[in-house]
Amino acid sequence: MGCAILAAAIAPGTAAPAAMVRNDHGQLTVAADSPLAARLSVTPVTLVSLSRTIPVPGEVRAEPSRSLSVMTPVAGSIVSLPVSPGDPVTRGQVVAELVSGDMAQAATDVAKARAALDYAHRALVRAQGVASAGGAATRDVESARSTWLQAQAEDDRATARMAALRASAGYQAGQGGVIRLTAPIDGIVSAVNTAPGAFVTDPTAPLLAITGTQEVWAVAAVPENLADALHVGQQTEIDVPALPGRTAHGAISAIEPVLHADTRTLQARVVLANGDGALKPGMFATLTVLTPQPPRIMVPQSALLMNNDTVTVFVEVAPHTYRRRGIEIVYDDGDLCEVTSGLSAGERVVTQGAVLLNDD
């Protein structure tokens, strides 16, 4: 369906009366006080900047930095697991408790190292006092100093190991080797891979996964033939079939540099705020990329006339004076049609009632 062309098909005798219109070699002057003048609408020709829309399929994904696994730094037996898949959690909330002999041993090592360091320090002070009174040899002081330095190194080692264990999982250490694993981020428990009573022997095995949904990614699969049309920073509209009537907006933040060989697509992502959690990772989405186009001259359909297979408009050359002019247009659907030649920005054309000026 192309632009609607108003055919100037006025039968003989139906043209505007001579009293209303004066024709001077194709230049039509309409009496300012005539009924015809009141039926004419004249509009300036303007440049219109339109955007080309490129719809591409995609999906909602969790941001990788907001999807984390909770693991235990040492082997142990799970005694409590107070969360289930789908439960919301906050950062620092206890999500699992374990009893670990390794943890108890690490705590004992710290206590022993502190005691040994304290004893070595007191022995060094005592040896230095005896030596200053002339009652001990220098080698006794050096021996006490060496013992103190070794005790200090052992205390540093035990303390550093304990600190590393705590930092590696963000847990709280309780008495008797109890470890309380906590959520590293705010989010939703997306998977639980263990149960109370289970004995964990592999510290690299995730006990549960937490996904943060305050921000998500809308990832588009861009076909190879459209890759050059997309750029970082372009605005997009994201529609999710599962949420009819809701359209999100965002700019392309990144485009993968490598084409996926199996699908011949590039992945472009848009970061979206998701404070209400309505956008769920895994949802299908359509990303419509808005690609700005150069400004174009556009006129309403109602201004167009067909005369002898030529598209024309009436251009105002003086107040209430009009001349027919042939133009070329791009046939397209919509209320406006693009004019490729025959008109310039700023010229005024008749957009309503042009058929009444037909002089054929």
Lowest-pLDDT range, 212-226, 268-282, 322-336? Answer: 322-336
The reported pLDDT for the residue numbered 166 is: 64
Average pLDDT of the residues of the chain: 83
**Would you state the structure tokens that stand for residue 138, as one six-digit string?**
């220098």
The reported pLDDT for the residue numbered 19 is: 54
DSSP codes joined into one string, 6-73: EE--PPTT-SPPTTTEEEETTEEEE-TTSHHHHH-EEEE-EEE--EEEEEEEEEEEE-GGGEEEE--S
The verdict on residue 174 lying in a domain is no
Taking residues 195-212, report their average pLDDT. Answer: 89
Q: What is the pLDDT of residues 233-261, one digit of tens each?
A: 989 999 999 999 899 999 999 999 898 88
Q: Do the beta carbons of residue 66 and residue 215 sit within 8 Å?
A: yes
Q: What is the pLDDT of residues 266-325, one digit of tens each?
A: 999 999 998 888 898 899 999 998 877 788 888 888 888 887 788 999 999 999 899 999
Number of H helices, E strands in the chain: 3, 27
Q: Do the beta carbons of residue 19 and residue 32 sit within 8 Å?
A: no
The reported pLDDT for the residue numbered 74 is: 82
Same structural domain for residues 231 and 288?
yes
Number of structural domains, the chain? 4
Same structural domain for residues 258 and 204?
no
Q: Which of 144, 169, 194 is the last residue of a domain?
A: 169
- The SS3 of residue 77 is strand
Instruction: Provide the pLDDT confidence category of residue 138 given band limits of 50, 70 and 90.
Output: confident
The reported pLDDT for the residue numbered 8 is: 39
- pLDDT at 50 exceeding the cut of 80: no
Same structural domain for residues 225 and 281?
yes
Q: What is the pLDDT of residues 99-109, one digit of tens each?
A: 887 777 777 88
Query: CA 351 to CA 335: how far, in whole Å?
Result: 12
The verdict on residue 108 lying in a domain is yes
The verdict on residue 1 lying in a domain is no
Range of the domain at 328: 6-50+295-357
The reported pLDDT for the residue numbered 135 is: 66
Q: Do the beta carbons of residue 268 and residue 222 sit within 8 Å?
A: yes
Taking residues 97-120, report their average pLDDT. Answer: 84
> Structure pTM?
0.55
- pLDDT at 13 exceeding the cut of 60: no
Same structural domain for residues 223 and 281?
yes
CATH code of residue 141: 1.10.287.470
Same structural domain for residues 127 and 144?
yes
Q: What is the pLDDT of residues 168-190, one digit of tens each?
A: 544 444 555 788 888 888 889 98
**Would you state the structure tokens that stand for residue 72, as one six-digit string?**
């235990």
CATH code of residue 239: 2.40.30.170
Taking alpha carbons only, the member of 338, 308, 349 closest to residue 9 is 308
Q: Which of 235, 265, 292 is the last residue of a domain?
A: 292
Instruction: Give the other-Cβ count within 10 Å of 319's Cβ.
Output: 10
Same structural domain for residues 162 and 287?
no
Instruction: Provide the pLDDT confidence category of residue 2 given band limits of 50, 70 and 90.
Output: very low
Instruction: Provide the pLDDT confidence category of residue 17 given band limits of 50, 70 and 90.
Output: very low
Same structural domain for residues 73 and 191?
yes
Task: Give the CA-trace dihedral at 274, 280, 284, 286, to 10 degrees.
Answer: 0
Same structural domain for residues 34 and 16?
yes
The verdict on residue 10 lying in a domain is yes
The verdict on residue 130 lying in a domain is yes
Percentage of residues in the chain having pLDDT higher than 70: 89
- pLDDT at 205 exceeding the cut of 50: yes
Same structural domain for residues 88 and 108?
no
Same structural domain for residues 287 and 256?
yes
CATH code of residue 200: 2.40.50.100
Same structural domain for residues 79 and 14?
no
Percentage of residues in the chain having pLDDT higher than 90: 27
